[in-house]
Structure 1
Amino acid sequence: MVALVKAEFRKIFTTSLWWALLVPVVLLGFGAGWLGGSIVALIDSVEKLDRAVPLGLLSVSMSTNFSTIFAALFGAMAFAGEYRNRSITTTFLTGNPRGAVLAAKLLAYSGIGLIYGLTNVLFASLGGLLGTGLDFGSFGSPADWLSVGAAGVLAMMLWTLLGVGFGALVASAVLAIILPLVYKFAVEFILSLILIGSPVSGISPYLPGTAGNGIVANMAVPLFVAAVAGPDEPDTPRAVFEFLHLFFGGSYGHPWWASLLTFVGYTAVFIAGGWLASRRRDIT
């Protein structure tokens, strides 16, 4: 297994895909952080507030929930890229059984997902600090920042692993790229709009994209509101939460850990489906 994992890392680092998809993560993270920090600085210049406005927490949530698609696409190419390049035959023959190949890819790609997650949090934090003029209060307490940052890293890793399972399932580079993009930014968006006010609106937090976004957003939004509202946070109108969730992801009243468990379930389903499909697929 160690040899298989090393082989996967060699495949990853001998191509440019891993850093090419990391570039937009860096840009999105820094841009979201800088924008949030600049807004905080603008508010503070107009009116001095009696407490910090930790928009940095929301910036990390926003950058994470936009950047996870790149982690998913990278993971999807773990198998789909090999089918496209026709190197999958050699991979399966030298890494028999096929389940061992999947396990090695999951381990290697989770490591890259960790790098993506840490990079996102780092650059979102850097952008936020520069936007506020090095005001660390824009990220709330250290515990808040660490909690949201850790959730962001975990979300990035899970999206990467879901991508690996999806790539193994479809075994097509074209589908591995198009379907996640269409679903996350079109299909689920339309579904969410349809579900608003419907009798089954309660299923919205359990949709894959919403659940994945909620891992970070359902933690960041309540922490932000609690920091801004202070002791009056329980009296904060629901509309405030829903407005923030509209822009930063997640669902009102849905705990982050429930989103995490839901998305872990989706990830497990795609990995299991990819494993079954790869076992039966002809590679000759």
Structure 2
Amino acid sequence: MGNLIKAEIRKTLSTKSWWGLMIPAVLFAFLFALGWGAITNDLNDFLGSSDAEELAGLLGVQLGELPVGLLALAHGINIGTMFPVIFGVFALAGEYSKKTITTTFLTAPNRMSALSAKMFTYIGWGVVYGIIIVAFASLATVLTVDSAGLPTAGQWLGVLGAGILATTLATLFGIGVGAVWNSVTGATITLTIWMLVVENVLVFVSFGWFGITWLGGVLPNGTLNGIVGAIGAEAFGAAGVSVPGALDEDLQWLLQYTAGAPGAFSWWAAALIFLAWTMLFFIGGWAANQRRDIT
């Protein structure tokens, strides 16, 4: 297994995909955190004075002391996490498109060993992506958010851990989708359209027309975003489907959306649900590749 992992690392480093996707991941994480930091820095204007004052009162803080930096961090990290998903697609689907999968399978004891080696290798890549994305989102947050609105040290460490967990699971999710689809182009286009367009439309329509607040907390993109975003939602007392006696439902959902996690139950629940999605596609991809013709 050690030799297979070394081979996977060398194989990945010999391509341009790891740094080609790292660059936009860093840029988008930085720019989105920068933009949202400028917006949420004045939460009073963003939510409306009465809602912002009510929220500050419930949390027992002054209006200017709300941890708005968590909201900027979440949006920066969440948009950056899209790129580890695409990077994961290249792990197996990319080998089929480049016709190197035959060598990979024939030089391993069995296909399960080859796929396991990929899994362990890309877990490492997911950690690398997570550290860098969180670092640049944090830099943008520090540059735009007033000091009173910055997260505490504990919250920042929580975001770092959640960000690494999110990018790691995102990479494995991409591997699974690519393995099932067996096409880099098809999997990338489908994932991008679903995660950035279709799912967001479904979440907005379900809330606006039917009053369903929890849909984003169970769909793939929503749960991936919720791993980090729910930390911000929880800091504002807006985690979960409902908080009786605290926030009204509309304000709660708006705060969840502002935190990048509409419908999120909690960060750990989001992680567990997204892990289930990851395992669904990963096991499906593993099963499909046990019988797939490589000649």
- TM-score of Structure 1 vs Structure 2, range by shorter chain: 0.7 to 0.9
Verify: 1:82 aligned to 2:95, yes or no: yes
Give the drift of 1:176.
2.0
**Residue aligning to 1:31:** 31
1:178 paired residue among 168, 173, 189: 189
- 1:167-213 deviation line (CA, Å, top 9, x unaligned): 11111121121111111122212322343354876444211111111
Question: What SS does the aligned partner of 2:65 have?
Answer: coil
Verify: 1:260 aligned to 2:271, yes or no: yes
Question: What SS does the aligned partner of 1:183 have?
Answer: helix
Equivalent pair of 2:213/2:262 in contact (CA under 8 Å)? no
**How far apart are the structure 2 equivalents of 1:203 and 1:242?**
11
Question: What SS does the aligned partner of 2:81 have?
Answer: helix
Give the drift of 1:40.
6.5
- 1:62-119 deviation line (CA, Å, top 9, x unaligned): 1122122111100011011110110000000001310111111111111111111111
Unpaired runs of 5+ residues, structure 2, are 45-61, 238-244
CA 1:42–1:210 in 2, change beyond 3 Å: closer, same or farther? closer
**How far apart are the structure 2 equivalents of 1:241 and 1:101?**
46
Equivalent pair of 2:172/2:278 in contact (CA under 8 Å)? yes
**How far apart are the structure 2 equivalents of 1:74 and 1:204?**
24
**Residue aligning to 2:226:** 214
Verify: 1:69 aligned to 2:82, yes or no: yes
Count of residue pairs brought into register by the alignment: 272
Which one has a larger percent helix, Structure 1 or Structure 2?
Answer: 1
**Residue aligning to 1:230:** none
2:217 paired residue among 196, 202, 205: 205
TM-score normalised by structure 2 residue count: 0.84
Give the drift of 1:36.
4.1
Query: Over aligned residue pairs, what C-alpha RMSD do you find?
Result: 2.5
**Residue aligning to 2:6:** 6
Unpaired runs of 5+ residues, structure 1, are 227-233
User: RCO (CA 8 Å, sep 6+): is it higher in 1 or 2?
Assistant: 1
Equivalent pair of 1:214/1:249 in contact (CA under 8 Å)? yes
Equivalent pair of 1:77/1:176 in contact (CA under 8 Å)? no
**Residue aligning to 1:166:** 177
**Residue aligning to 1:231:** none
**How far apart are the structure 2 equivalents of 1:144 and 1:51?**
18
- Alignment-mate amino acid for residue 218 of structure 2: Y
Give the drift of 1:15.
1.1
